[in-house]
A = this chain, B = another copy of it.
């Protein structure tokens, strides 16, 4: 009735505990036919090793390291905050979380940090990656040396990293595009895309996505040339203000990056019917914008959930478990003013 133990397996296989243990842990020195019998017994009894007892016995702990960008951008601040929030509950599951902050938007600095990582430093590494040659190379090295590496939020080295946890930015852009189309049902319009910089892969992907959807047949929307604001509110204020004066017939704005505080302020001051606005990341600022009706939709990648999923995936990797059983799908989530989560915690697990 109860879960079978390894002793049950040994008895069922007609071998000693020691032999069953040798098979289970692949210690070698076991005759082929004994291996068969033990595996047969494991099958028959539905034996599963008690991971907790095993970890207890071998004093195993899990050391997981995260390389995340520095800086005060709301998204990464939230990401780091979620990591801190997971620290205590995970700790009681023998998981230690190490967070290392890396200069943002600097592939070389990231590669340097990756190069300094030793296999002995941790059991699994998660890195907010930028797809640069040296980064790919460093990830490949770590993987080759036996350390599982996952990419978080941004992907790189798709052949080497064990998994990517994050949204598909083309999908996110398409989702924004769909919302914009919805809001233009039965009318034409001009849409202004605002990016941080077109050199950023994620921004290009989102732009591609929105372009795909707006270009679908049946639409009559004019996607303007993107304005780049370096993720800065001051640039946003200037550039978007200028664009709106130059083209007062703008009916929609898709802000792909950061600096949205200024965008929301502009909307607050705009006389008459404001354009339809979609932007990314649920932050205190964007939440406030939604609640005050100054913007229409926020596309969020749920950083807390990303961290939770990343930790689950890392645990699975460290245990040598099959990744298929770990959910790692993160879908861009749409927030309108009516389905905002309660400000507290959401998406974490224990």
Contacts and interface: CB of A to CB of B under 8 A. Distances in A.
A237 B323 CA distance: 43
Contacts of A347: 327
B329 A350 contact: no
Interface stretch (A21-29, A178-186, A241-249): A178-186
A341 interface: yes
Copies in the complex: 2
**Which of A50, A177, A187, A332 has most B Cβ within 10 Å?**
A50
Range for the number of chain A residues in contact with chain B: 35 or more
A327 B309 CA distance: 14
Interface in A248-286: 273, 276
A178 B336 contact: yes
A347 to B, nearest CB: 6
A304 B56 CA distance: 31
B56 A92 contact: no
Contact of A329 (B178, B337, B346): B346
Contacts of A53: 52, 56
A93 B48 CA distance: 10
Contact of A334 (B315, B336, B340, B341): B336
Interface of A: 3, 48, 50-53, 55-56, 89, 91-94, 171-172, 174-175, 177-179, 182-187, 209, 213, 273, 276, 296-297, 304, 308-309, 312, 315-316, 325-327, 329, 331-334, 336-342, 344-350
26 contacts: A3-B94, A52-B93, A56-B56, A171-B338, A171-B339, A174-B338, A175-B336, A175-B338, A182-B276, A185-B187, A185-B276, A186-B187, A187-B187, A213-B338, A304-B327, A312-B349, A315-B350, A327-B347, A327-B348, A327-B349, A329-B341, A329-B344, A331-B340, A331-B341, A333-B339, A334-B334
Given A175-B336, A349-B349, 11 more contacts: A52-B55, A172-B339, A174-B338, A175-B338, A182-B336, A185-B185, A187-B187, A213-B338, A304-B327, A308-B349, A309-B349
